[in-house]
Amino acid sequence: MRENLRPGLRIISGAVDELLINHEPWTGLAPCSQTDPEIFFPEKGGSVKEAKAICATCEVIEQCLHYALINDERYGVFGGKSERERRAMKPRKCHECGNPVLGKAIRYCSTECSAAGARRVRSEIERRRKARAI
C-alpha cells in the first residue's frame, strides 16, 4: 500500500512499517516498485536471493546502487547489492576537498585535488626539514 505524503516522498507499509524513501524519477522503472518490499528487507540471516534475482532484471540497477551508496542506505538490497556488499563499496572521501571518490586506491577526486595534495605534502616536508635544521 502506497500513499503520498508530500511531493518527492512516499511511504510503503507492510512488514517494513512506514519505510520512508526518497522518490527519484527512475524508481517508477524499477521492478521492485511493483514488488512486496519485504523481499528487499529480509530478517537478519534471511536470504537476499529473490531480491537479487529481481534486481538482475532491472534497467535502473546502476541508479539504484548509486542512490544507496550516496544516501548511506544501511539496510536492505539496493542495486543488486546486500548491506554488506554496499559497505565494502562505500565511497571514500577525497583527501583534499572531501568529495566522494570510489575505489580503494583512489585518494583524490580530481587532478586538481591531487596536485593540491602533492603541494601540501611537499610544503610539510620542507617545513619539517627547516625545523630539523634549527
Q: Which residues are annotated as a binding site?
A: 32, 55, 58, 64
Binding-site residue ranges for [4Fe-4S] cluster: 32, 55, 58, 64
> Is 83 within 8 Å of 52 (Cβ atoms)?
no
Cα separation, 128 vs 124, whole angstroms: 6
Cα separation, 31 vs 28, whole angstroms: 8
Query: Cell numbers 544501511 correspond to what residue?
Result: 74
